[in-house]
Amino acid sequence: MDGISVREVTHENVDDLCRICVPPEKVTDPVFVTGVELKKEWAIGMLERWGTCAKLAYRGSTPVGMIQYWPVPEQRVIRIHCIYVPEEENWGKGIGTWLLSSLIGDVREPKDWFGGERPVALVTKTFPGESPGQYPARLFFRKKGFMQVGDDPDFLYYPLRPDFVYRPPEDGPEYISQEEDRGRAVFIYGPAPCPFAYVFLKRAERVVREVAPWLPVRWISAFTEPHEVEKRGGVRGCIVNARLIRSIPLDKPRFRQEVLRALEGAEDDF
């Protein structure tokens, strides 16, 4: 492809990775600035732990696409967190394909992460992050041969060994309910693979304040209060009246409804 190169993310170009998803008009917005800082914490942690976390596609020195991933040794798989080609002028030009093939090429080699073995699959859970008119990640991965895991059309895997069938383990961390979280909203944040994680959490706070202006709000940082995060099971996100809200504020009606359900009866306590 003309003028395009794919490079591994290292300490030298980690800032390109952290900024690539941020819309140009939001670069100086303080909420996005924090989102980018939290992503950098995450990326540096990954580079130190695994030596890798993403690949970037460049046109000259301009980053034009990324694929982000990490190894999961317990399952001997590579988890793809995200693939993204932000600018419309670059869509449909083979950049996404090149990023994915570059990752597949890499992981066909034996890896220290898996005790010198090859991984058995790539696994991903897509989310609807595409811009209007852009190709959704779910369709892209299906087109590239990924198969569905169970009933969830966003949960996909790509076997790297003939006849391998991926069987997912139990879900990740569970919120451990705390008495002190009753009758309040708690927002937990920390290093995150996506700068929008913090942006969405701020948006979640706005919606919670609209729905229940009387509700006290507490923010917990994984940096300054790790024990507070730990005792809640290590979860991140929005907790209302001691219940973890699973929907995201991108789907505002659903998010509001879940907040209202979590609050049933709580106002009477005040």
Ligand X SMILES: CC(C)(COP(=O)(O)OP(=O)(O)OC[C@H]1O[C@@H](n2cnc3c(N)ncnc32)[C@H](O)[C@@H]1OP(=O)(O)O)[C@@H](O)C(=O)NCCC(=O)NCCS
Q: Which residues bind ligand X (CB under 6 A)?
A: 21, 82-85, 91-97, 129-130, 134-135, 137, 140, 143
To the nearest whole angstrom, how small is the minimum distance from the Cβ of residue 105 to ligand X?
15
By C-beta, is 2 or 268 nearer to ligand X?
Answer: 2
**Between the CA of residue 13 and those of 1, 141, 163, 252, what are the distances in Å?**
21, 26, 38, 35
Residues facing residue 122 across a β-bridge: 78, 158
By C-beta, is 24 or 213 nearer to ligand X?
Answer: 24
By C-beta, is 111 or 138 nearer to ligand X?
Answer: 138
Give the burial class of 108: count Cβ atoms within 10 A of its Cβ; 0-12 exposed, 13-18 middle, 19 or more buried.
Answer: exposed
- Compute how many other C-beta atoms are within 10 angstroms of the C-beta atom of residue 185: 24
Would you list the DSSP string of 199-217?
Answer: HHHHHHHHHHHHH-TTS-E
To the nearest whole angstrom, how small is the minimum distance from the Cβ of residue 80 to ligand X?
11
By C-beta, is 52 or 124 nearer to ligand X?
Answer: 124
By C-beta, is 73 or 129 nearer to ligand X?
Answer: 129
To the nearest whole angstrom, how small is the minimum distance from the Cβ of residue 93 to ligand X?
5
Sheet with 147-149: strands ordered across: 4-8, 54-59, 62-72, 77-84, 121-125, 152-159, 147-149
Closest CA to 83 of 127, 119, 39: 127
To the nearest whole angstrom, how small is the minimum distance from the Cβ of residue 213 to ligand X?
31
Closest CA to 189 of 46, 34, 12: 34
By C-beta, is 68 or 241 nearer to ligand X?
Answer: 68
Residue with the closest Cβ to ligand X?
96
Residues facing residue 237 across a β-bridge: 188
Please say whether the beta carbons of 203 and 196 come within 8 A: no
To the nearest whole angstrom, how small is the minimum distance from the Cβ of residue 14 to ligand X?
18
To the nearest whole angstrom, how small is the minimum distance from the Cβ of residue 89 to ligand X?
11
Closest CA to 131 of 23, 35, 4: 23
To the nearest whole angstrom, how small is the minimum distance from the Cβ of residue 1 to ligand X?
9
